[in-house]
Chains A and B, each alone.
Chain A
Amino acid sequence: MMPDLLIKKKLFVVCGSGGVGKTTLAASLALKTAFLGHRTIVLTIDPARRLATSLGVSLEGSKARKIDPDILDKINGGKIVKGELFAMMLDTKNTFDEVIARYSPSKDIQHKILENKIYQHLSQMMAGSQEYMAMEKLHEIVSEEKYDIVIIDTPPTVHAIDFLEAPQKMMDAISHSMLHLLLKPAMMVGKTGFGFFEKGSQFILKIFDRITGFAFLQDISEMLVSFKELLGGFQSRAQEVEAILKKDTTSFVVVSGVDQRSVSETKFFIEKLMDLHLPFDGVIANRVSPFEAFKMTMEQEVALSQLVSKELAYKMSLVMQMFTNEADRQKVFLEDLFSFLSKKQFLIKIPLMEEDIHSLEGLGKLSQVL
């Protein structure tokens, strides 16, 4: 990774679609910056928890925990590490209850929503809570100003873009809803029945009554009103986070797989980053086949069939064919990705390892490649 990035940047946002290896790479990057002498914190979102165990991160609640300096020295090949590494895990059950419990401006509002019967049922269908919590945590950590470098792992969303869009989508949906305005007259007077509404509203409400039932509308409306009260704080913090993300000391690093689907997702996401004027610095292509640039020849096949049985030689060349084809296909995708990037943006290739990396030693090895 370009050395000047590691000097200039204070916040690294590691993004990409779910399953590409973000968490591992974020942790590995954090190790690297610690080795370079910086006081680093990494916020991981690790559903499998194995990394959390290796990092020794607290498994309940999101508290920062310092990695034992002796262990850091050991991974660094015995050389003393001047930097420090802290790790924190975002532990959410993907529900909005936590968002509300933590970020309600008052206990009153918190109760109002949590006790709302409709909320209790429908909240499990509200998407975006994990993305939202990640944003709030990012805000917290950066505002505390305790660390030289902050590295954020992003939630394992289906589409990489969800991390950026989900919180705003959620807020837009609530703020644009005008249901409560429609019902205002009745709610103010505390009565029901269509007589209290003006003709235009009556018309809409009568149809709604046939479609959803009026009671449902009222319940939803109450819930949305409470959410709107919650929204004020959300909005201002969201704006602050946006400002943080746009700073020139922030760096967006996209992790990508090397197959068709991953690459088109990645390209789409990069375009979005550019549209939003977010500081995108490069791509880490993960799990790249190590069989690139191997040419199979007749000569070799003959030699092989003399070394092992003819049948086995045939099978081995089939396997080699399979892997080189895969590597060739990947090569095309990698070139596609590379041409999509500007000269200033990096493309790092991480080879496919035999096992997933969970141990600190494994992370150390990875950090050398970065």
Chain B
Amino acid sequence: MLDLVLNKRLVIFSGKGGVGKTTMAISLGLMAARLGKKTLLVEMNAPERVAGFFCLKAIGYKETVCQKNLSGINVNPKDCFEEYILQRIHFKKVFDTFVNNRFVTSFLNAVPGFNELMMVGKIYDLAAHRHSQKPYDLIIVDGPATGHGASAFEVPQIVYNAVKVGPLHSQSKKMIDFLQDKTMTVFCPVTLLEEMPIVEMTELISRIKAKLGIGVGPIFVNAYQKNIFSKEEEKTIFLEKNVNEKLKPYFIAAQFLSHRLGLQEKMMELLQRLNPGSPYILAPKMEAPIQIASDLLPIVDAWTNI
């Protein structure tokens, strides 16, 4: 099932804040790199997180090698805008005057969606191998968190509808065509097995499908707790009465886990009910805190064996 994701050119991870998009993006990146694909991890104007995973101080706007076959970049609206202008204005003096003009810089912030459009444009250039960008096999985007109005990848469609003529119209059309090309782009929602992330993710998926026509890939379910007890053992855990005080905590702990697993099951049912027929990929819950790339190898291994 992951082949369907890995054989694309552009993979976009999205979901509620805190569900683990960065973790999923890096894990997939490690897997792709292992398979020999030249991969680029893209953060969108985010506080540097990928850098820490690879023991780098920061990544910034320059494509930086993280490990073999895997590089990273942290795009921001201003640099994307300047690169966009540079592609169209070839005289440095003209360029300098324009981008430093105060009308221009205040414009960037005042026009809703413009910042996002610039970043999506950069990602499009990278994925479509335009403007002599280095030709990566796979671009993985750690997308922005949902819940803040329309998400960044909805912007080209919105601009296309809003502006009927001119360069922005044609530019956004090119982006939309690439995003809608199901052989090129796949949108992967990420969630935890908790109610609010699941509900928000479901709303996002229906918006993407209804308004944008971007291909939606398998749902990535993060922090999945594996059940270790058999049915018989479960009975014992709950039935044991007259347990000596010193041993009671073990039973409480086991009951607690059992209860958590029950809730997880309910949430899984909810997810499947709200997204009937959608495939999903599980990422196991990590016991130790995840700090560097090698901490993610259990996830990569689990995925390699699907």
Contact = CB atoms under 8 A, between A and B. Distances in A.
Interface of A: 17-19, 47-48, 94-95, 117-118, 120-127, 129, 156-159, 172-174, 176-179, 181-182, 203-204, 207-208, 210-216, 219-220, 224, 260-261, 290-291, 294, 300, 303-304, 307-309, 311-312, 315-320, 322-323, 325-326, 329, 354-356
14 contacts: A17-B18, A94-B149, A120-B162, A176-B106, A219-B163, A220-B111, A294-B249, A303-B244, A307-B243, A315-B229, A316-B251, A320-B249, A320-B254, A323-B253
A157 B89 CA distance: 39
Interface stretch (B31-39, B54-62, B95-103): B95-103
Interface string B112-152: 11001000000000000000000000000000010111100
B228 A319 contact: yes
Contact of B250 (A203, A260, A304): A304
A316 B249 CA distance: 10
A177 B163 CA distance: 20
B298 interface: no
Nearest to B88: A210
Contacts of B159: 121-122
A155 to B, nearest CB: 9
B113 A122 contact: yes
A162 B97 CA distance: 33
A168 to B, nearest CB: 13
Interface string B162-192: 1101111100000000000000000000000
Contacts of B194: 19
Contacts of B150: 124-125
Interface in B271-291: 287-289
B17 A158 contact: yes
Contacts of A122: 111-113, 158-159, 162
Interface of B: 16-18, 84-85, 88-89, 94, 97-98, 101-104, 106-107, 109-113, 116, 145, 147-150, 155, 158-159, 161-163, 165-169, 194-197, 199, 228-229, 233, 236-237, 240, 243-244, 246-247, 249-251, 253-254, 256-257, 259, 263, 287-289
Nearest to B97: A203
B112 A303 contact: no
A317 B253 CA distance: 9
A18 B103 contact: no
| Residue among A48, A224, A311, A312 with the highest chain B CB neighbour number at 10 A | A312
Nearest to A156: B147
Chain B, interface SS category:
helix
Chain A, interface SS category:
helix
Contact of A320 (B113, B197, B253): B253
A304 B247 contact: yes
B149 A127 contact: yes
Given A177-B106, A316-B251, 8 more contacts: A17-B18, A125-B158, A159-B17, A177-B110, A179-B103, A300-B247, A307-B240, A316-B253
B197 to A, nearest CB: 8
A354 B259 contact: yes
Contacts of A219: 163
Contacts of B236: 308-309, 312
Contact of B149 (A48, A126, A204, A215): A126
Given A307-B247, A312-B233, A319-B228, A19 B103 contact: no
A121 B161 contact: yes
A370 B250 CA distance: 28
Given A178-B106, A224-B110, A317-B250, A127 B148 contact: yes
Contacts of B167: 210-213
A322 B148 contact: no
A320 B112 contact: no
Nearest to B94: A207
Contact of A212 (B101, B149, B166): B166
Nearest to B262: A354
| Residue among B85, B103, B288 with the highest chain A CB neighbour number at 10 A | B103
Given A117-B162, A118-B162, A125-B158, A261 B106 contact: no
A122 B168 CA distance: 14
A309 B254 CA distance: 14
